[in-house]
Amino acid sequence: MKRDTGKNRNITDKWRLSTQLVRGGTYRSEIGETSESMFMTSGYAYDCAEDAAARFEGEQDGYTYSRLRNPTCAMFEDKMALIEGAETARSTATGMAAMSQAMLAIVKAGDHVVSSKTLFGSCRVFIEDILTKFGVSCTLVDGKDNEAWKNAFRPNTTAVFLESPANPTLDVVDIEFVCDLAHENNALVVVDNVFATPLLQKPIKMGADIVIYSSTKHIDGQGRCLGGCILTSEEILDEYILPLIRHTGPNLSPFNAWVMLKGMETMDLRVEKMCLNASKVAHGLRDMGCFTSVNYPGFDDFSQRDLVEKQMAAGGSVVTVFLPGGRAQAFKFLNALEVTDISNNVGDAKSLMTHPASTTHKSVEESARLDMGITEGMLRLSVGLEHADDLLEDFARAAKIAGL
């Protein structure tokens, strides 16, 4: 129990995905528990002072303090690393903690960051407003435009950030192309893979140096806990990530890590069903014929279909719809919903719909929002696990009430 050699943990990449999701990374104590233990402890006791000194020296395996590592969090991290195909992982309290810590770890004053411009609201604020306060400049590009990526690099570019598919516009970035370009320019690439989930897209295989998640989304998948994860190589972890996070403490609570572990056991079933549902709902919404447009990466005629086929296993669980009547009509539509909730989370078992311009992207200036394609008539739908027909009947009813 004292040692964390990894020998007792199920860390094998020989297993298939569903076995890894259920058993990967699990550490079973001498009690023989079948469900993972929740180690709600901040500290660890040593048999003798020499052991404490040896552990701090790094000569002895084992835990010292939960800001540095905790067994329940370590199980979650090992399971995440396994399914991502990453060498290592560290969990964080939220997705934004994962994103901000990963970026802070790899830049310094005077550096320049290139990022796709369509991002989750807080990611954009972090790159554009927060990093710049510390003397890190940025260039935001249309993530769909490979030429724009090429032209954005400067001699002091050290980091690239991208989200694909992007929240909420579902723009897709050619991850392999951007990673190759970044590496030619000696920059590290951080990919926010939240919308694709670790099951549909593997950025590390495409060259990404760091992948981050909000595990609040499909990983918990049942709307219970906030969480996040940073996945990378041992080398980047040691050189960049640990020197920051050991001393800044963005940690996930062991309780939340335990909830995430339970969530992961069913993640493949949930994500598969959500993608099927999202495809049915997206087609159904489009067939209703009353929206200005319906956007879903799984559509055969999706504008970036080839790229989706190249790098994603399915179209994901998020759909966007555009209403002709702007905010007033979008609000009327939302207010008429009886099955889908008005809520700004994604990846939940419950279908959730939000008006990005007034919620998730409210903190982004209006001109920047419009530049990203977030109009007042746009609604973002995260499709859950309900029956697709119940969702569609609800949308059809709401459309009538909203005068569509």
Nearest distance in Å: CB 59, ligand PLP = 36
Q: Which two tokens stand for residue 89?
A: 């992982």
Q: Which two tokens stand for residue 241?
A: 């990530």
Q: Rule CB under 6 A: say whether 194 interacts with ligand PLP.
A: yes
Chain centroid to CA 298: how far? Answer: 19
Helix ranges (H only) for 134-193 are 146-152, 175-184
| Minimum CB distance to ligand PLP smaller for 69 or for 218 | 218
| Minimum CB distance to ligand PLP smaller for 167 or for 320 | 167
Q: Rule CB under 6 A: say whether 96 interacts with ligand PLP.
A: yes
Count of chain residues binding ligand PLP (CB under 6 A): 17
Q: What is the DSSP string of 211-273?
A: EEEETTTTTT-SS----EEEEE-HHHIIIIIHHHHHHH--PPPHHHHHHHHHHHHTHHHHHHH
From the list 141-149, 209-217, 256-264, 384-392, the region that binds ligand PLP by CB under 6 A is 209-217
Q: Which stretch of DSSP H or E encloses residue 193?
A: none
| Minimum CB distance to ligand PLP smaller for 252 or for 402 | 252
Q: Rule CB under 6 A: say whether 214 interacts with ligand PLP.
A: yes
Nearest distance in Å: CB 160, ligand PLP = 16
Q: Which of 219, 346, 379, 388 binds ligand PLP (CB under 6 A)?
A: 346
Encoded amino acid at 402, one letter: A
How many CB atoms within 10 Å of residue 1? 13
Q: Which of 24, 25, 71, 95 binds ligand PLP (CB under 6 A)?
A: 95
Classify strands 352-354 and 378-382 as parallel, antiparallel or unpaired: antiparallel
Q: Which of 167, 304, 311, 354 binds ligand PLP (CB under 6 A)?
A: 167
| Minimum CB distance to ligand PLP smaller for 162 or for 391 | 162
Q: Which of 73, 86, 123, 383 binds ligand PLP (CB under 6 A)?
A: 123
Q: Which residues contact 189 (CB under 8 A, 6 or more apart)?
A: 159, 160, 161, 162, 178, 179, 182, 183, 207, 208, 209, 210
Q: Rule CB under 6 A: say whether 72 interacts with ligand PLP.
A: no
Q: Rule CB under 6 A: say whether 192 interacts with ligand PLP.
A: yes
Q: Rule CB under 6 A: say whether 228 interacts with ligand PLP.
A: yes
Give the residue among 220, 221, 244, 224 at the shortest CA–CA distance from 232: 244
**Residues contributing to the site for ligand PLP (CB under 6 A):** 94-96, 99, 120, 123, 163, 167, 192, 194-195, 214, 216-217, 226, 228, 346
